[in-house]
Amino acid sequence: MSRKIGILLLLLVAVVVPVSAQGGSYVVCPDGQVIENGVEIIISMRPGFTYHATAIGLDGFDPVLAVSDEFGTSLCADDDATAASYSLDLPTTGLVTESFLSSQVPFYHNYDGFHDISVTVGGFANTSGEFVVILEGMAVTSADGSGPGSGDPFALHITPNVTASGVPISAYMISVTSGLDPLMKIMDSDDQPFQFDDGTYFACDDAGNLELCWGESYSLAGAYVSRTQGRQLPGGNLDAMMIVPIEELGMEPDEEGYLNYKMSSSGNGTSGDYVVVFHMGTTGSDEAAQSSGRTSENGLYYQWASGASATSQYTDTRWNAAQATGAPDTNDCGDIDTAWASSSSTGSDVLTLDFAEAVIPSQINIYQTYNPGSIIKVEVANGDGKPVVLPKSDDPPGNTPCPGILTLNLDGVDEPVNRVIIHLDQSIGGGWNEIDAVELVGVPVAGADV
């Protein structure tokens, strides 16, 4: 293994970055949300093809996804309803179930010729964690060229946050069509497959075959990833995967560079559609996630509830009102004790959320993780002042998926508020309507009397 130490540094063309920039890829989304600890994948994309990028967090990580072109135009997504149906089971992840925290962006371009498109994944509020990116819409064709340098290029940007995560970089190439025999390879600075001194290539043909794959590799037979339209794509014996441990990169903490992949077919002998999957990690400011909120570029302040009370709660610990404070931590639809639940499954209840900062509200997001359909109205208030009823704030059965988010876009509330009051009639929804988190978004008001 020692022959590989430091080799990748040459492939990465590593450079030292300033201490102030030691984070990840930086993206400003159209809604003002900022990704600071992003992990960037650059795709050289054909015109006229529609691709899908889906980000799925592991162990409760909440990914934010951005897709940007060469001119700085970005599309961003967080907590996407379509992505919420995705799941996967891969050798490096194990089974990852569906989560409403997942994100997805479909994208294409109409520029002439190939153009570089960046897919960037960071943590909500720049938190740390592991994630998977599923890239759909790729194909091996005769347009990829011929010879050892042919293939679809993917450049993975290795930044200090990726190195600091310690998470190995795992890449998968899974065939959609039975006729394609995938080949994954790492390219050198001359855009040729990298070859070690002993003649072996930094590549993988059939995953799990140690004679055909560099490093640690596992068969993908029995593995799967989700795709669009509710489909599942199974892995096969001919699919490719490689795991690159972070320590093998030979990177210093203040260096960055690129790891360049090409996806093609074994012997350039087959063609067909395929899906690319990357499993990686990022580090960020977890302290920021624990604070009361964050301010976006357009001046909006995003915050989770810092306190909660309810007319009833299932117990004083599990399912209590405090479970609705802070960021979401219940990933699945179900009767799960990390969300608030009332004492009765058919009662009328009120859940009151308090926030650290008063804002002129523009949006409220209510994260529901069991039996949505019982919210009859939502109010906002300034402390113990008179509540203001929000119009069209009910959430009838069938309106919000499970798990899902009821988003109320507000217009006309001109006074600062720091309280959200949720009224429920659970005889309508038919069972416990459990709430995991509530987010208040608005313009902060300096010196507001709360």
Per-residue pLDDT of the chain (450 residues; tens, 9 = 90+): 333 434 444 344 444 443 333 468 888 888 777 888 999 999 987 777 789 999 999 988 899 999 988 777 788 998 888 999 999 999 999 999 999 899 999 987 677 777 888 999 999 878 889 999 999 999 998 877 778 888 999 999 999 999 999 999 999 999 999 999 999 999 998 899 998 888 889 999 999 998 999 988 999 999 999 999 889 999 999 999 999 998 888 888 888 889 999 999 998 889 999 999 999 999 986 544 444 466 665 678 989 998 999 999 999 888 999 999 988 888 789 999 999 999 999 999 999 999 999 999 999 999 999 999 999 999 999 988 899 999 999 999 999 999 999 999 998 899 999 999 999 999 998 799 999 999 999 998 864 443
Tokens 């995938």, located at residue: 182
Find the length of the chain.
Answer: 450
Backbone angles phi, psi at 76, to 5 degrees: -130, 155
What is the C-alpha to C-alpha distance for residues 34 and 305, in angstroms, rounded to an integer?
Answer: 21
CA atoms within 13 A on the CB side of 133: 33
Output the pLDDT for position 402. Answer: 92
Architecture of domain 292-444: Sandwich (2.60)
What is the C-alpha to C-alpha distance for residues 261 and 277, in angstroms, rounded to an integer?
Answer: 12
Output the pLDDT for position 56. Answer: 97
- Measure Cα distances from 386 to 97, 130, 201, 389, 410 in Å: 43, 44, 71, 10, 18
Output the pLDDT for position 297. Answer: 55
Give kind and range of the element (H or E) at residue 287.
helix 286-290
Q: Which residues contact 403 (CB under 8 A, 6 or more apart)?
A: 84, 99, 100, 330, 331, 332, 333, 367, 368, 369, 370, 436
What are the sequence ranges of the domains in the chain? 2-286, 292-444
The torsion defined by the Cα of 245, 51, 213 and 24, in degrees rounded to 10, comes to: -10
CA atoms within 13 A on the CB side of 274: 30
What is the C-alpha to C-alpha distance for residues 39 and 304, in angstroms, rounded to an integer?
Answer: 25
Query: How are strands ordered across the β-sheet holding 232-234?
Result: 94-96, 88-90, 224-226, 232-234
